[in-house]
């Protein structure tokens, strides 16, 4: 049975038969022996249309939010504002049931509550989260022509209910996610959201662009094997049968021709670009100038050990006109902070040495050896040590899935290995070379920018949710962990007994590690849901300094990088260079100056939330939909604001010579200013005399930290230390049956906002003199 209230929204599809032999081809070689015949039978049933249904986009509730409510929010903000204009809050990373992983994790197998269609995203953004703007970004590989059309139509309908287009209550954007994952650092490029300004047919592409010819279908191979466990008794009916129908439909969609201009392709083919340079080439052909936003780069579930963003810093792989923003935080963790963690990657010859534990880091390869050591029993010491070394070597070779070398282990057995112990709400298995700070520090001297200076990333910083249940902006209240985060887990011991062998494999010898299976390693890493559940948080927000509420003004602010991110609360933040050559320059600016820079910061804490929902939300959604979608908890600010406790300044001085170490230029924090409680916020001014003296370029951004408050998964795996400070056990916050559904795993944190950086470049002559020193 479903653990939570189901919200499945399906419509009986038209019979869809197709060529079952062609449709089954991508799945050949998946299973062995009897399992192969099970898959073939299940897929045959699905492809024959036996019970297969498609997910309808859903119906959007009538009408915008009350104009008085929107006006009141703007009025309260104006009381403490530092500058003209308005700060608007949104979420530019939202998945619906049209993303394959969102659908899978909504199934009963994972304790899901049922799939969330596009209409849910609009209603949640408007009536639950009270956002000002949002976008839908389903994975491109799963967007069949029918679903791409349904997404566009749903976004248009959402905007039609927003009231006056010049002053709407909500602006909805169309987008998709380009989702790439490589097995090696050299071939890994990560995930990017592609977002479009307009919503008419002329403003949108005929099709999304995928990262692999069969990307999502390949990942679905393991998923459909799990699905057949329930499909056979149901004879292809039910939600699993619906899923198989969808996978079959994707398999039927033909790939577009290679090397063909995007404008010359038919609308119903699957367009592919497996590297960033090809993606940007196709986007340029389309002529629509979307904004491309990399995200989740530091999340080690996808990025192999040793990955860095440096491999994307080329003129072909980094489009400086389109790829202008970076998502530094989401509901999947914080990718801002760099840490000098040991590199546990190995070469093709499986060379390398597993790093020993330190006070701030435990490598999973080391812990693999310790698990085996504890199992040695009566083995001679020499044989035991041989197996310990073998376990460490195999764990290093396993890349993103070291836990698969000992498939009978539990998350608790691995303690907090491969985790950043002092980061704020970190991404699981942090890859520091993919962090935002490292991105600011690297330079490419071989392919200079158009002005002759080293090529560098000059991102504006945002945050969003990466929510997979069609709920934009869930971070307004820290509660309802299984609905407001993407924490998932196996629903019951019975399900676990059936599924575990397929997810983790079988332990061949309890006293010995074994090679992780190369086949489906990435998919199995995705299903490491129990350990990953401790690193799922309510989503962040993107804030824009906009002239007004219109679509055009929001887009202009995004393009100008007058943006910042928050970990969920609606913190107000202004950060300016006050003595730029042309006067005051806001966050996101790029300035050439040789003078000592002077900066001003103003941060105002978020409103303390009141329980429940506004009456207008209940009227708009009705009691049943309000409970199901919002869980009877909406954005409902009181009169009191949380205090800002500190302003932290981060300075990054990018590489100024090819042989300089990029990490040496990261100073975090460079300055810290304590703040006294003040309802009008915290104001700070500072300057950097070193900038003028050094002759080096510099990048500055600020973090505004609120007073401590309780947060979902604030303590991640809830590590317990002994008297010597060593981690001796963990109490993970499971997404499945092992942690009670009403346990929100709360722990105190300091919620925060991250400004976009201000980029200061020395005049060319000064920079040349510095490079010679």
What are 299-355's pLDDT values in tens digits?
998 899 999 999 999 999 999 999 999 999 999 999 999 999 988 886 534 557 899
pLDDT band at 693 (very low <50, low <70, confident <90, very high): very high
Cα angle at 717 between 711 and 723, to 5 degrees?
110
* Alpha carbon distance 419, 406 (integer Å): 19
pLDDT of residue 349: 43
Average pLDDT estimate for 360-385 = 97
Bridge partners of residue 229, in order along the sequence: none
The per-residue pLDDT of the chain, averaged, comes to 88
Paired tokens of 500? 């575990």
pLDDT of residue 106: 87
Please state which of the ranges 31-35, 131-135, 755-759 shows the lowest mean pLDDT: 31-35
Nearest C-alpha neighbor of 225 from the set 498, 8, 2, 407: 498
User: Using CB atoms within 10 A of its CB, is residue 77 exposed (0-12), middle (13-18) or buried (19+)?
Assistant: middle
Is 520 within 8 Å of 694 (Cβ atoms)?
Answer: no
Paired tokens of 167? 């002053």
What are 5-29's pLDDT values in tens digits?
344 433 333 332 223 222 222 332 3
Q: Given the structure tokens 């329930």, which residue do they identify? A: 230
What are 154-186's pLDDT values in tens digits?
999 999 999 999 999 999 999 999 999 898 999
Q: Is the pLDDT of residue 44 over 50?
A: no
pTM for this structure?
0.92
Paired tokens of 575? 């950060």
Share of the chain above pLDDT 90, in %: 74
Q: Where are the beta strands (DSSP E) in 104-199?
A: 133-139, 171-179, 191-196
Top mean-pLDDT range of 32-41, 77-86, 458-467: 458-467
pLDDT band at 45 (very low <50, low <70, confident <90, very high): very low
DSSP state of 750: -
Bridge partners of residue 192, in order along the sequence: 178, 294
CB under 8 Å to 751, separation ≥6 — which residues? 566, 567, 568, 569, 571, 606, 642, 705, 706, 709, 711
Other C-beta atoms closer than 10 Å to the C-beta of 692 total 15
Q: Given the structure tokens 């690193």, which residue do they identify? A: 535
Please state which of the ranges 92-96, 237-241, 601-605 shows the lowest mean pLDDT: 237-241
Please state which of the ranges 192-196, 344-348, 467-471 shows the lowest mean pLDDT: 344-348
Average pLDDT estimate for 547-553 = 98
Name the region of 316 (left: φ>0; alpha: ψ -120 to 50; beta: rest). Answer: alpha
What are 243-296's pLDDT values in tens digits?
878 888 888 889 998 889 999 999 899 999 999 999 999 999 999 999 999 999
């Amino acid at each position: 049975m479903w653990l939570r209230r189901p919200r499945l929204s399906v419509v009986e599809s038209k019979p869809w038969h197709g060529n079952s032999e062609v449709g089954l081809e991508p799945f050949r070689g998946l299973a062995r022996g009897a399992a192969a015949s099970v898959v073939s039978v299940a897929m045959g049933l699905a492809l024959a249309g036996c019970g297969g249904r498609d997910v309808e986009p859903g119906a959007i509730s009538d009408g915008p939010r009350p104009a008085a409510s929107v006006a009141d929010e703007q009025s309260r903000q104006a009381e403490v504002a530092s500058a003209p204009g308005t700060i608007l809050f949104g979420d530019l990373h939202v998945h619906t049931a049209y993303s394959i992983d969102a659908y899978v994790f909504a199934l009963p197998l994972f304790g899901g509550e049922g799939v969330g269609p596009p209409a849910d995203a609009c209603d949640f953004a408007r009536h639950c989260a009270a956002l000002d703007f949002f976008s839908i970004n389903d994975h491109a590989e799963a967007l069949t022509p029918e679903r791409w059309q349904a997404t566009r139509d749903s976004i248009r309908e959402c905007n039609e209910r927003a009231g006056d287009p010049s002053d709407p209550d909500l602006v909805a954007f169309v987008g998709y996610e380009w989702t790439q994952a490589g097995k090696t650092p050299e071939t890994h490029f990560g995930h990017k959201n592609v977002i479009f300004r307009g919503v008419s047919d002329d403003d949108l592409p005929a099709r999304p662009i995928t990262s692999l010819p069969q990307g999502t279908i390949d990942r679905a191979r393991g998923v459909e094997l799990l699905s057949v466990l329930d499909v056979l008794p149901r004879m292809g009916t039910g939600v699993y049968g619906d899923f198989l129908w969808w996978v079959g439909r994707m398999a039927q969609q033909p790939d577009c021709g290679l090397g063909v201009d995007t404008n010359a392709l038919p609308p119903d083919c699957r367009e592919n670009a497996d590297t960033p340079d090809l993606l940007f080439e196709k986007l340029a052909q389309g002529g629509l100038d979307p904004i491309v936003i990399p995200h989740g780069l530091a999340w080690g579930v996808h990025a192999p050990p040793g990955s860095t963003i440096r491999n994307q810093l080329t003129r072909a792989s980094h489009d400086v006109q389109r790829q202008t923003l970076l998502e530094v935080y989401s509901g999947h963790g914080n990718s801002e902070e760099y840490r000098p963690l040991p590199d546990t990657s190995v070469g093709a010859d499986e060379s390398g040495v597993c790093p020993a534990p330190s006070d701030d880091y435990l490598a999973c390869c080391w812990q693999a050896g310790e698990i085996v050591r504890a199992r040695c029993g009566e083995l001679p010491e020499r044989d035991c040590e041989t197996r310990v070394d073998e376990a460490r070597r195999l764990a290093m070779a396993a890349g993103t899935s070291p836990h698969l070398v000992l498939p009978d282990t539990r998350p608790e057995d691995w303690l907090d290995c491969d985790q950043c112990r002092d980061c704020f709400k970190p991404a699981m298995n942090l890859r520091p070379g993919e962090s935002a700070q490292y991105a600011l520090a690297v330079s490419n001297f071989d392919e200079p920018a158009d002005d002759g200076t080293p090529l560098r990333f000059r991102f504006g910083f945002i945050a969003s949710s990466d929510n997979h249940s069609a709920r934009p902006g869930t971070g307004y209240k820290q509660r309802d962990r299984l609905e407001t985060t993407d924490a998932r887990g196996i629903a019951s011991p019975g399900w676990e007994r059936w599924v575990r062998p397929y997810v983790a494999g079988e332990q061949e010898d309890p006293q010995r590690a074994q090679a992780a299976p190369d086949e489906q390693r990435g998919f199995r890493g995705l299903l490491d849901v129990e350990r990953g559940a401790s690193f799922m948080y309510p989503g962040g927000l993107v804030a824009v300094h906009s002239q007004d509420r219109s679509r055009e003004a929001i887009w202009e602010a995004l393009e100008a990088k007058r943006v910042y991110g928050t970990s969920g609360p609606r913190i107000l933040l202004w950060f300016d260079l006050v003595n730029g050559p042309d006067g005051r320059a806001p966050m996101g600016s790029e300035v050439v100056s040789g003078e000592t820079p002077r900066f001003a910061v103003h941060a105002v804490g978020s409103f303390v939330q009141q329980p429940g929902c506004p009456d207008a939300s209940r009227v708009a959604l009705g009691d049943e939909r309000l409970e199901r979608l919002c869980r009877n908890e909406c954005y409902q600010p009181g009169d009191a604001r949380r205090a800002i406790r500190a302003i932290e300044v981060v300075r990054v001085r990018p590489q100024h010579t090819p042989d300089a170490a990029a990490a040496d230029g990261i100073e975090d924090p460079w300055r810290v200013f304590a703040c006294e409680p003040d309802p009008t916020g915290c104001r700070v001014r500072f300057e950097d005399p070193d900038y003028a003296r050094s002759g080096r370029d510099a990048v500055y951004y600020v973090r505004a930290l609120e007073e401590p408050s309780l947060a979902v998964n604030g303590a991640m795996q809830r590590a317990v230390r002994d008297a010597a400070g060593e981690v001796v056990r963990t109490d993970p916050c499971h997404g499945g049956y092992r942690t009670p559904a009403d346990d929100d795993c709360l722990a105190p944190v300091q919620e925060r906002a991250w400004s976009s950086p201000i980029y200061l470049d020395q005049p060319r002559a000064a920079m040349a003199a510095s490079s010679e020193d």
